[in-house]
Structure 1
Amino acid sequence: MRKLLVSHTTEMVLILVIAAMSLALSFLTDRFFTLGNAFDLLNISAVNIIFAVGLLVVLIAGGIDISFAVAASVVQYATALALAQIGGGDWISGLLIASVFGIALGLINAFLIHRFNIISIVATISTFNVYFGLLMFFTKGVSIYNLPDWLTTRVIVYEREMADGSWAEITLPVVVMLICVVATWLFVTRTTTGRQLYAFGDNPEGARRFGINVGAMQYIAFGWLGLMAGIAGLMQAHYAQEVVPNALYGRELDVLAAVVLGGARLGGGKGSVMGCVLGVLLVSITQNGLNLMGVSPFAFKMIVGAIILVAITLSSGRLDGLFGPRKQALSDTDSKGGAA
């Protein structure tokens, strides 16, 4: 039992923080601790969690991608146009088209990183701007409202009437999110490829010498994130009942903050699906609580920025790099002074 707690310290801490924050918010606002608000949190968080489990795989492999949210916007628009060309389609065709487009955009990132040996964050900053620029150029910022009925019809999986006459609902994106979470968990923990991704992210040179295909790891990781981005984009279109070109713009930083908060290491080789989900929920609860208390949304942006800054500082053993050499230098100086 003790070994289990030690190996899941981050997840346990997040659960305690979420519980403490939820308890505090239940006293600060009477709307937070209600079934309706809890279901709304799940519905709103579903797309971010789908993004997050995809990004987790890239982070485990030692990469980083900030273009996935814009890629999902491109997928939304391209899928809507493709569905119009085939006469409307259905959920199966919609998911297949979105998945193919998403994987293709993810593989473009992997190709640039592997073929030209570009640092992943530099490559994805470039594709972020290219994808978004092309999207806004061709769409001119015009939204698509004429979507197929099956995509815009709200699918309610579970509902319950509240005392005030309102309804608490669990919608389709939550179910799709759960499937993506389970699929990612099985992929990274129960397959040989998943274990190779951890090994590659933790020690790329050692993994290379051990015979792990570096290119394959990058294509698989970014392809998986592309797949999740495609699915998330379609779920966002279903939830919003429209396709807005810039609707997901800026979402990447919130998701990145949540994933690293959940224990994923920016240096690679570390991260869990459970921690990832808890990280997203904590960020969502923070945002929801601030909104209910009437706090400025800029305060939430400051919190997200602080999370990313702390994560970058603490990840990949950076504390040793920051303080270790200095400690050694001071020790050497003291020794010389003592010898003199």
Structure 2
Amino acid sequence: MVNKLGIKPHEIFLGLTILVIGGYLSFATADFMTFGNIYDLVNNYAMLTILACGLFIVLISGGIDISFPAMTIISQYVMVTLIQGTTGNFAIAFALSGGIGLLLGLVNAVLVNRLKVPSIIITISTLNIFYGLLLYLTKGIWLYSYPEWFEQGISLFQFTAADGYDYGLNLPIITLVVVVALTGFIMNRTSIGRMIYAMGGNKEAASRMGFGILKLQLFVYGYMGLMSGVAGVVQSATVLTVAPDSLLGYELTVLAAVVLGGTSIVGGRGTLLGTLLGVILLAVLQNGLNLLGISSYWHTVVTGLVIVVSISMTAWSQRKGQGA
């Protein structure tokens, strides 16, 4: 069930929830609706959004990828190692990190297709393999050294706000906008996007219709790997350090955001708008809990409760639509 604007009930529910929570936080805290806080939120959740775009496509295809935190760190680690002492630019950084992530994603695709094992088993395995190899080869050493051009970053339309801080379109924000636009174009405007939806809805039927399942899986998992590499550059530009174990457990946060947005865990259903709303809701929740001074131990509890309620609403609306 959708309205004339094409917005689904679950997306309306998420939007209203965000408005209600945001409205409460605006009155309960003095900092929530400040420009600085909103700007920091966009920057801090840019990496999560980029990874959510990749995972959204994987879930729509009927698969799942748990290995992307390892792909992100590996891509990031190799990229930072190679650019040290260079006079390059961010195009080189994205090419190196994105290329490594793409290759690792293609490995997942081939394993999923050839071994005929559920993708969650394959990617849990490669998550451990990738992490294990990274920790063995790097000895867990953190990286802090970056070329001057990387540390300077990118900032377009820079200005100084009333709070005395400088703002502008920086690398995380620019990358975030490009990734969201690209993902939306692929899934809504191209034939491969329609084929991915079809494969997620019924893989056997899609195969009988002549869709190349291997090619689609190479694209889907390759795109997840590419987004992992892109996210690695964004994280490096944000924190200017690389810790080999920094993203352990991050896969659950990203998966929560995408599922919270209404994307089906079994494939074939979901929208990019819903995924973005899921990310925004998680960001607002976590930021609000911090501003209210609530212990971080409660963050996962509150987030889990919201996800349960959201998924319940999605299941209820789908059953209602099927019964209509």
TM-score (structure 1 length as normaliser): 0.87
Q: Where in structure 1 do 4 or more consecutive aligned residues deviate above 6 Å?
A: 310-317
Q: In the alignment, what sits opposite 2:40?
A: 40
Unaligned runs of 5+ in 1: 321-340
1:119 aligned partner, one-letter code: P
Aligned-pair CA distance for 1:32:
0.6
Coordinate RMSD, CA, aligned = 2.3
Distance in structure 1 (CA, Å) of the matches to 2:182 and 2:75: 21
Distance in structure 2 (CA, Å) of the matches to 1:157 and 1:249: 33
* Aligned 8 A contact 1:145 1:243 in 2: yes
Distance in structure 1 (CA, Å) of the matches to 2:105 and 2:87: 26
Distance in structure 1 (CA, Å) of the matches to 2:159 and 2:21: 25
Q: Secondary structure at the match of 2:269?
A: coil
Cα 1:305–1:21 change in 2 (3 A) is closer
Answer yes or no: is 1:70 the counterpart of 2:70.
yes
Answer yes or no: is 1:220 the counterpart of 2:208.
no
Q: In the alignment, what sits opposite 1:327?
A: none
Aligned-pair CA distance for 1:299:
1.4
* Aligned 8 A contact 1:260 1:266 in 2: yes
Q: In the alignment, what sits opposite 2:57?
A: 57
Q: In the alignment, what sits opposite 2:271?
A: 272
Equivalent positions of 1:249-264 (< 5 A) are 249-264=248-263
1:42 aligned partner, one-letter code: V
Aligned-pair CA distance for 1:143:
1.0
* Aligned 8 A contact 1:198 1:268 in 2: yes
1:149 aligned partner, one-letter code: E
Which stretch of structure 1 is more off in the superposition, 234-243 or 50-59?
Answer: 234-243
Answer yes or no: is 1:300 the counterpart of 2:312.
no
Answer yes or no: is 1:27 the counterpart of 2:27.
yes
Distance in structure 1 (CA, Å) of the matches to 2:266 and 2:312: 11
Distance in structure 2 (CA, Å) of the matches to 1:80 and 1:196: 36
Q: In the alignment, what sits opposite 1:13?
A: 13
* Aligned 8 A contact 1:11 1:278 in 2: yes
Aligned-pair CA distance for 1:159:
4.5
Q: In the alignment, what sits opposite 1:180?
A: 179
Cα deviation per residue 1:64-122 (whole Å; 9 max; x = unaligned)? 1111112100100111223248x353211111111110111111111111111111111
- Number of aligned residue pairs: give it: 318
Aligned-pair CA distance for 1:5:
4.7
Structure with the greater alpha carbon radius of gyration = 1
Equivalent positions of 1:59-98 (< 5 A) are 59-84=59-84, 87-98=86-97
Aligned-pair CA distance for 1:304:
3.9
2:248 aligned partner, one-letter code: Y
2:108 aligned partner, one-letter code: N
Provide the identity percentage. 38
Cα 1:19–1:314 change in 2 (3 A) is closer
Distance in structure 2 (CA, Å) of the matches to 1:239 and 1:192: 35
Q: In the alignment, what sits opposite 2:148?
A: 149
Distance in structure 1 (CA, Å) of the matches to 2:306 and 2:73: 25
Distance in structure 1 (CA, Å) of the matches to 2:41 and 2:247: 17
